[in-house]
């Protein structure tokens, strides 16, 4: 298989405009003849469905939640990037492009990233027009703050609720199209397979999560906007329902899966407190604007603190190690997430961690409160402080927050070309479920930017180029390909229901999560990855032999829902480990212990690994086939990242 990225010719600043002019267009009167399926209603899915409906296409939108506005995009807190340069501090489209490529440790496709930076300036205008209540400065202009990996202030925000407010904007646009009849909404409906006719994506098979009924839906093209796969680790900042089933089933139908080992660990999360937990809570990266990260300078002091022999107030300023400020004076506490996470882990591994487990560092606002006053800090972060206090029963205005890294975002996903089409004609992937923009590490506040860029400003152009070449003919859902796919879904469900084993679905998921976190988490090495590969294969075989799924298929059955998702997570975990083994270098969120500098920084191998690793499915239990998309850097020089 030859990977054709379809990157337009010409200077990078002209590629997108030239491409938009050269793509084929669909006559407005003909748009109503085409049906498009959108799976997922987060920022990417809702914005794509709303925009395509506005253009005149017939859209069917699907989500497993009870409402589109419950998509996990709602949980994003800190902000959305855009190269507006409102602060007049030197920002530009090229600087946002450069920061994103550098932040991704030079493992992203230049053309896609530049386009993302270009359309970022339009996103803010779109959202303001929709009524998104971005924060404003004293003069009424939109306010900006800093985020990790940048030395300019380009992040627009709505307190600590940015994702929620942006999703409400997209949800309003989506509801408008639902009211007009251009979008038909299917809540509580989960995609379980992709249907292909003559080698093209022509529909999906879904399960109605209320009745259990298996149904098919036909279309001329399918867009997946189903988010990331961080829940493969069980404990993550993702909602418990977040899953990878739609993307994974597409992979098993022939869509290549790219860079699955690129997982982002967020440095600012509330630490694990016990085995009873089912998810972790994110504290926005925006807090690192004013919060200072530190641990005791010595192991002895940290031990005494953990034992209760001394209190926090007994540790003098001279005995505190503000390690990010010490190591990275240029960026300080606002280094990228992978750098901050690894350094927090290193401090705890040295025995200088705080809290009862020793797996935490402090995020301290004392200096900021003293400088600006508590009211000013509350105005910026009040809802985040309230959330922290409710969860921990500690007042962050009076004592530092305790934070520790946790799985947050996945940069890998379905391989897509410049048009966001996968290797299956007619199947597109938008937002976090594709691999295209973030390389090996996502900069904070760039997830919302990518989701809305893909949905509002990219796919509505590029999908027309595909549809313009297609006949209007619809494929009926009684076509043999749909019947075959439906039967395959029914067979899997029946198999899961018939096992009647002794272990719960969650027990398998937790075990998978531990294997992944211990061997393919913040740090990886060859021995651990090979162990993980064997352990996951053993777990997969045991799952299909001993999982207990109660109830029946033709009714509400959340155990069956989770069983399907965990079965896919187990297989995905195998591929993540395979990808991590293949990539014998460190880059961004992928940190191989064998590849690091004397200062414990990630050490890339550009000669051998400056490529996208796109994997082809060859059957469960079989070794996947690796395809490489070589990355070319014509506008950014490949250098060792430095935030010092």
Query: What residues are labeled active site?
Result: 337
End-to-end Cα distance, the chain: 42
The dihedral through the CA atoms of 74, 76, 78, 79 has a sign that is negative
Going 274 to 280 to 284 to 285, the CA torsion angle's sign is positive
Question: 49 is written with which tokens?
Answer: 């469905």
Q: How far apart are CA 99 and CA 102, in angstroms?
A: 5
- Name the pairing type of β-strands 80-81 and 263-269: unpaired
- Collapsing DSSP to helix, strand or coil, 426 comes out as coil
Q: What is the DSSP secondary-structure string of 300-333? A: HHHHHHHHTSS-GGGS-GGGEE-HHHHH-TTTGG
Show the beta-strand stretches assigned E in 345-450.
Answer: 361-364, 401-410, 413-414, 427-429
Instruction: Return the beta strands (E) in 50-188 as ranges.
Output: 58-62, 80-81, 155-156, 183-186
Paired tokens of 506: 């969650």
Q: Judging by beta carbons within 10 Å of its beta carbon (0-12, 13-18, 19+), is residue 175 exposed, middle or buried?
A: middle
Assess contact for 291 and 364: CB atoms under 8 A.
yes
R_g of the chain, CA atoms, integer Å: 24
For residues 61 and 270, what is the distance between their CA atoms, to the nearest angstrom? 34
**39 φ, ψ to 5°?**
-105, 115
User: Around 321, how many Cα atoms within 13 Å sit in the side-chain half-sphere?
Assistant: 19
Contact 47, 451 (CB under 8 A): yes
Q: For residues 586-620, b (16+ Cβ closer than 10 Å) or e, as one string? A: bbbbbbbeebeeeeebbbbebeebbbbbbbbbeee
State how far the Cα of 399 lies from the Cα of 413, in Å rounded to an integer. Answer: 40
**CA–CA distances in Å: residue 604 to residues 6, 40, 583:** 27, 35, 10
């Amino acid at each position: 298989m030859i990977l054709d990225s379809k990157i337009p010719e010409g200077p990078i600043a002209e590629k997108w405009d030239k491409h938009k002019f050269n793509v084929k267009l669909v006559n407005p009167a003909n748009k109503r003849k085409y049906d498009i399926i959108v799976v997922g209603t987060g920022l990417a899915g809702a914005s794509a469905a709303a925009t395509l409906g506005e253009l005149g296409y017939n859209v069917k939108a699907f989500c497993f939640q009870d409402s589109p506005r419950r998509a996990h995009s709602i949980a994003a807190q800190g902000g959305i990037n855009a190269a507006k340069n409102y602060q007049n501090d030197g920002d530009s489209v090229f600087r946002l492009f450069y920061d994103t490529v550098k932040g991704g440790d030079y493992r992203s496709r230049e053309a896609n990233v530049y386009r993302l930076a270009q359309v970022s300036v339009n996103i803010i205008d779109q959202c303001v027009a929709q009524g998104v209540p971005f924060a404003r400065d004293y003069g009424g202009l939109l306010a900006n703050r800093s985020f990790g990996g940048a030395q300019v202030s380009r992040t627009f925000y709505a307190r600590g609720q940015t994702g929620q407010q942006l999703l409400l904007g997209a949800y309003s646009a989506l509801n408008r199209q639902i009211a007009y009849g251009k979008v038909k909404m299917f809540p509580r409906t989960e995609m379980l397979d992709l249907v292909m006719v003559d080698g093209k994506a022509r529909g999906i098979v879904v399960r109605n999560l209320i009745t259990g009924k298996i149904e098919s839906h036909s279309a001329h093209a399918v867009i997946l906007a189903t988010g990331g796969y961080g829940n493969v680790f069980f404990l993550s900042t993702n909602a418990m329902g977040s899953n990878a089933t739609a993307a994974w089933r597409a992979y098993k139908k022939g869509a290549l899966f790219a860079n699955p080992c690129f997982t982002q660990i967020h440095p600012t999360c509330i630490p694990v407190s016990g085995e009873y937990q089912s998810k972790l809570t994110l504290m926005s990266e925006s807090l690192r604007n004013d919060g200072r990260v530190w641990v005791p300078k010595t192991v002895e002091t940290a031990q005494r603190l953990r034992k209760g022999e001394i209190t926090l107030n007994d540790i003098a300023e001279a005995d505190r190690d503000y390690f990010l400020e010490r190591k990275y004076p240029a960026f300080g506490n606002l280094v990228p997430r992978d750098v901050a996470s690894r350094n927090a882990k290193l401090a705890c591994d040295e025995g200088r961690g705080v809290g009862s487990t020793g797996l935490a560092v402090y995020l301290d606002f004392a200096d900021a409160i003293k400088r600006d006053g508590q009211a000013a800090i509350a105005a910026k972060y009040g809802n985040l402080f309230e959330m922290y206090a409710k969860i921990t029963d500690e007042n962050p205005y009076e004592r530092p927050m305790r934070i520790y890294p946790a799985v947050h975002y996945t940069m890998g996903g379905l391989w897509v070309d410049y048009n966001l089409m996968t290797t299956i004609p007619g199947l597109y992937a938008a937002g976090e479920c594709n691999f295209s923009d973030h390389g090996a590490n996502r900069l904070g506040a760039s997830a919302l930017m990518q989701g809305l860029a893909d949905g509002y400003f990219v796919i509505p152009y590029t999908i027309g180029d595909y549809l313009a070449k297609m006949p209007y003919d619809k494929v009926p859902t009684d076509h043999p390909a749909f019947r075959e796919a439906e039967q395959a879904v029914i067979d899997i469900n029946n198999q899961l229901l018939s096992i009647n084993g002794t272990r719960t679905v969650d027990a398998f998921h937790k075990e998978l999560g531990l294997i992944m976190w211990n061997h393919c988490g913040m740090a990886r090495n060859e021995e651990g990855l090979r162990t993980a590969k064997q352990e996951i294969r053993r777990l997969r075989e045991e799952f299909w032999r001993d999982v207990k799924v109660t109830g029946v298929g033709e009714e509400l059955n959340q155990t069956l829902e989770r069983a399907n998702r965990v079965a896919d997570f187990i297989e995905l975990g195998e591929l993540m480990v395979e990808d991590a083994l293949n990539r014998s270098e460190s880059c961004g969120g992928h940190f191989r212990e064998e590849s690091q500098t004397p200062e414990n920084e990630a050490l890339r191998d550009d000669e051998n690994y400056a490529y996208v690793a796109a994997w082809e499915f060859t059957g469960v239990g079989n070794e996947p086939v690796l395809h490489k998309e070589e990355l070319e850097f014509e506008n950014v020089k490949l250098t060792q990242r430095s935030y010092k």
